[in-house]
Amino acid sequence: MISCVLVGASGVTSAATTEIRVVKYAADEFTILAEKTVDYRWMEKNLRVYGDGFTHYYHQGPVFVDDPDPVKEEELRWNPDEDTNVQEKDMGAVKGTSVKDLCDLVGGMGSEDRVKIRSADGWSMLFAYKNVYEYSSREGPIVICWSKNGMFPDTGYSDGMRMVWFADTSTNPWGIHAFGNYDWHEAADSEYWYFYHSGDERYPTTTGLSGQIVSEILIYSQEEPAGSIEVTSTPAGAEIVLDGEETGEITPFTLVDIPAGSHTVSVQKDGYLDPIEEWVDVSHGVVVPVHFNLEREYSVTSSSGDLASTQDGGYVSEQISFGLVATAITGNISLHVAPGERQICRSGQSITYRIPPDSLPPSSFAWARLYLFSDAGYTHEQRIEVGINGMSPGTPERSTFRLPDGKVTETLAFNVTRMLRTDAPMEISARNPPGGNEWTLYPPLLLVVAGDDGDVHRENWISEGAGLVHAMKEYSYQDLPNLTVSDFPDIRTGLSGAELQAVSTIPDDGGASSPMAFQNSVVIPGEYAHNHAGIWVSRYNVTGTVSEYTHNELFWKTTPGRDPAVIGPRIVILTVSYPPGLSTTDYTSKNRSAIGPIDTPPPVSESPPPSPSTSAVTTITPDLIGNGREGTIRDDSFFSRIWEVLFWILGIPIPGHGDQGQVPVTGDNPYEYLPNDESPRNAPDSSSGYPLQVSTTPPGALVSIHGGSDVQSSPATFVLPGGEYRLAAEMDGYLSCQTVVRLAGPQEITLVLTPEGGTDESLPGEAPERSRHGGLLIVTYPGDLELSVDNQQMERKSPLVLYGLKEGYHTVKATRPSASAGKGETLITRAWVYHDALAICELDFVVARLDRRIRITDPSGNSTAFTLNGIYPLLRTPVTLEVPGTGSYITLIGESTYTNIPIQDGLADGSELLLPTYNGNYHAISIESAPSGAEIFMDGARTGNTTPSLVRGLSEGTHLVMVSLPGHLPTHRVISIPRTQEEYIKGTVSFILETYPSGPLRVESVPAGAAIFIDGIATGEKTPFSFTAIPIGTHDLTLRSGDTTRSRDIIVRPDNPNRYIVHLL
């Protein structure tokens, strides 16, 4: 905080002034909206000149008369006839420039503004707008005179530049241009009158208004200081959130007319993680840039929290949540893996792959996406440059998974729909720029969505991301680090088939695993369709488990006797088939249509299939999906074959066999099947039904079929006719689990139960975000003075504790009563509020300050951060500041260093301070407090330490230490670090912290999300919110939501929850 004090006249002798500084302040009376300095020669040349150099102008001195009647005495002293002590106050034959014209140089005054005229010797006087802009003829304009009787300030006009009112001649007996006392009585409001005091007597006078050696014109406007915030993001198109409120704008965009001070800025974009909000300090007239690099929603950064687990091999993984990039896109999907091997791409090296055109589908392309998978690189060094047929494919969608050693696994995805050709190969080049680190690159994968083949309608959901997981022995909801989550919404009913495909990479070839999916509470085994060069593609028949909103978790099951494999999940694709000619409006959730039956998937091999030839592109198409041909299910699992033997012994027709009008499935794919156009509920049933074997994890759950009376303990077996059933499992201590089973043959199913309370009991509680508020201890010298904060008058006087103030700048004003008429003397300062801490704000009327303007510059041209006299805010060079005439210093704030630079007392007003090079040592000092745990601030900056602690990086010289602990009064102390070769300074800086009466405060609203104001001041918080350490007593609580505002008085008591609920509807 930097103070600006009105100082009374002093005995300092100053020379005549030749220039005037004109400043326009904002409503906070601190922020400079505009500023200009001009000398009298410039004024004479560029602005209207008042006076001709011959005509004399007069003011009126005090009229020393008395009368027993106080009313009459006052009238006599105002002297309406203006016939006393006038000609004696000749200002001379003056010329000058009007205050109005000078004010206009910085934007002028508003009707509610006031202007202060200040002299070089410290004298000052306030004036209203109407007396500057709408003056009457009897008072005339206020003129800053720079010429008198032919002399100028630097050639003999010793009291110039001087204020003179150019009044008319109408109100005095001599017909001269006299500005009489009664002229001012009629023209100005009483608070602007001026009196000469003699003992207890006071006498009006206008000569006292005529300030000499004028140096500054200071406009105090009602304009709020405002700046701009330029918000950009990669990728663009993110919604901008300012102070927790949606702005309705999307990046890139510049927010204008933002009130000066501290604000939070964030962005949000579907499919991307919400970035950490940025705190932005807005200054008037300054455009502050802020940029967000967005990570896909499925991009995970590993941490050392409880969710992360360090696996063998040094990988740290977390639950991976993939984000959707395509929803219900229509067509046939095919995956094309480029021939080639997994390679290490070193700095400066390029690697090229080709995908020949003959591998692409002949039909038209609806969508094409090229993927490049990489491992073990550092994104902060260099990023891989990708080219396609010699052209740049543009900015990729980038999914990043970070490892503890700083390396990353990345998935780069390019939309190449317009670049795809069928008459030439696609040549993909990957270049590692010089100076970067090594990357492990996998052969690129091309995903193509072509038009439907006419036999069946397919819709596809595509999600993608990056991560590293380990194969696990069995599925467990608690093994979050090894699960990969994808959610697929808005799936139409009436499907005839559904398949899931997963693309993953293998950092090394050690270990083996079986691909598994956990979909809508059912575990589904899969099979590998491709395994070469570290790229694995697995498939899952999920016809029986897909619902309108499908939650899918991928995991890999370890092979007994083998080391667990490390897998990098990359892409998950859900393809849903519908009968030929199905309209998007044919099936609704209210009119649920027939859903094709599910078969039991084939056994999963314990190791991947043999690698295909590397001489040609590997193409994977979703042949597992129903294709509209007639046929039945063929299930070759061991369990199914046992039932086939039993059915044969009993003479029961075996589903999928015989010549009862059914055509066997063609091809060698065990998943391939023909969807039946008839409803499974009415499908032909075997005479005895099909066995449904149900197991649960953990076992022992009670399993039942909706509508049936048969309840069994798992593992359980039901024999049911073909059709659709709702299966439920219940167990004490676990949530009830339900799923839909479509039975068209013998089937096995496993349900996984979740403990009551979900996984919350096994997860650490979410770390609360830091609050947006803090507080101030306001101290004045002398005490017991009236205070206002952010233009809100405080009911209590100083000293005052305020807690619940929004982090950032706040304007604090203290007023000392005046013995004379008027508003008294005021002192204004800007104070910085730290979040979660109390800071100290001091306003001193006792010590007179003669401020001087000093420009602080870093000769290197850098924008160097520093604080003034150990007090926040953080300032940056170059800047011009008003600083006290004695005892001032600045502290350069570096990386854990605090460098003191004194401002010499002899440095004159208007001088420049060039930051010198510091060649001394840095030291450490011990700081403690009672009680302990207080946060330590050094020269206004957070150190990150709490008491007791050893604070390092202190230069020689003066430093200000402050300690702050919630619920306690903060305290600070100036310390001096001596010049010494010793790093550790002997002794300890000790503080004793006193508590203040406080209590908690819980604020809620209906609906939630309302902005909270306490005593008229913004807290930065929204409902619901719990405050701590609010001073006890009565407070004004205001909630604002949109155009709705509600206020009420509340009482904060100690040892009381103090919960308040406000209904805004």
pLDDT (tens digit per residue) in 527-565: 888 888 889 999 999 888 888 888 888 888 887 777 778
Name the burial class of residue 988, with classes exposed (0-12), middle (13-18) and buried (19+) by CB atoms within 10 angstroms of its CB: exposed
> Which range among 164-173, 714-723, 797-806 shows the weakest confidence by mean pLDDT?
714-723
DSSP state of 272: B
**What is the model's pLDDT at position 605?**
37
- What is the distance between the alpha carbons of residues 388 and 372, in angstroms, rounded to a whole number? 12
d(CA 669, CA 666): 8
pLDDT above 60 (res 651)? no
Average pLDDT over residues 143-169: 95
724 pLDDT band, cuts 50/70/90, is confident
| Predicted local distance difference test score (pLDDT) of residue 657 | 38
- 501-505, 691-695, 854-858, 958-962 — which is least confidently predicted? 691-695
Amino acid at 234: T
pLDDT one-digit tens code per residue, 407-449: 788 899 998 888 888 788 899 998 888 766 788 899 999 999 9
Q: Which two tokens stand for residue 129?
A: 């707008």
Q: Which residue has the tokens 């709705």?
A: 1044
Residue 918: the pLDDT is: 92
Max mean pLDDT among 73-77, 475-479, 759-763 falls in 73-77
Long-range contacts of 389-392 (CB under 8 A, 24+ apart): 389/419, 389/424, 389/426, 389/427, 390/427, 390/429, 391/419
- Residue in 420, 270, 432, 423 with CA at minimum distance from that of residue 344: 432
| φ and ψ at residue 467, rounded to 5 degrees | 180, 180
Segment among 80-89, 381-390, 826-835 with least mean pLDDT:
381-390
* 678, pLDDT greater than 60: no
CA distance 300 to 278: 20
Exposed (0-12), middle (13-18) or buried (19+): which is 83, by Cβ within 10 Å? middle
Residues 719-728: what's their mean pLDDT? 79
Q: Considering only 310-324, 477-491, 583-597, which range has the smallest mean pLDDT?
A: 583-597
Angle value at C-alpha 783, between 778 and 784, nearest 5 degrees: 95
Q: What is the dihedral of CA 91, 94, 99, 101, to 10 degrees?
A: 170
Distance CA 589, CA 576 (A): 16
User: What number of other Cβ atoms are within 10 A of residue 921's Cβ?
Assistant: 14
Strand, helix or coil for residue 177: strand
Local confidence band at 369 (pLDDT 50, 70, 90 cut-offs): very high
pLDDT band at 232 (very low <50, low <70, confident <90, very high): very high
pLDDT, residue 769, reads: 56
Calpha distance 1027→400 (Å, rounded): 37
Mean pLDDT of 338-345: 90
Share of the chain above pLDDT 90, in %: 37
Out of 167-181, 362-376, 914-928, least confident range? 362-376
576-590, 597-611, 877-891: which has the minimum mean pLDDT? Answer: 597-611
The reply to whether omega before 252 is within 30° of 0 (cis) is yes
In the chain, % of residues over pLDDT 70: 81
861-909: per-residue pLDDT in tens? 888 889 999 988 778 888 888 888 888 999 999 888 999 999 998 888 8
Q: What pLDDT was estimated at residue 384?
A: 82
Give which of 1027, 780, 806 is closest to 261, Cα–Cα. Answer: 806
Whether residue 495 is predicted with pLDDT greater than 90 in this model: the reply is no
What does the pLDDT look like over 249-282, one tens digit per residue?
Answer: 999 999 998 887 778 899 998 878 888 888 887 8
- pLDDT tens for 970-993 read 999 999 999 999 999 988 999 999
Q: Using alpha carbons, select from 803, 782, 699 the residue that is nearest to residue 1029.
A: 803
Residue 334 has pLDDT above 50, yes or no: yes
Assign 218 a pLDDT band (cuts: 50, 70, 90).
very high
Q: What is the mean pLDDT of the chain?
A: 80
Q: Is the peptide bond before 931 cis (omega within 30 degrees of 0)?
A: yes
pLDDT digit string, tens, across residues 900-933: 999 998 888 878 899 999 989 999 999 999 999 9
pLDDT digits 0-9 by tens, 301-313: 333 333 333 444 3
pLDDT of residue 117: 94
pLDDT value for 666: 25
pLDDT at 209: 94
Half-sphere exposure of 244 (CA within 13 A, CB side): 16
Determine which of 191-200, 371-380, 613-622, 861-870 has the lowest per-residue pLDDT on average.
613-622
| Coil/strand/helix, residue 73 | helix
Residue 187: per-residue pLDDT: 94
Reported as a single tens digit per residue, the pLDDT across 1030-1044 is: 999 999 999 988 888
Among 24-28, 191-195, 239-243, 976-980, which stretch is predicted with the lowest mean pLDDT? 24-28
The predicted pLDDT at position 1009 comes to 86
Domains and CATH numbers, the chain: 4-220 (3.90.420), 226-293 (2.60.40.1120), 309-620 (2.60.120.1200), 638-668+678-762 (2.60.40.1120), 774-844 (2.60.40), 852-992 (no CATH), 998-1063 (2.60.40.1120)
CA quadruple 184, 185, 187, 189: dihedral sign: positive
Q: Taking residues 219-241, what's their average pLDDT?
A: 89
Segment 293-321 shows an average pLDDT of 48
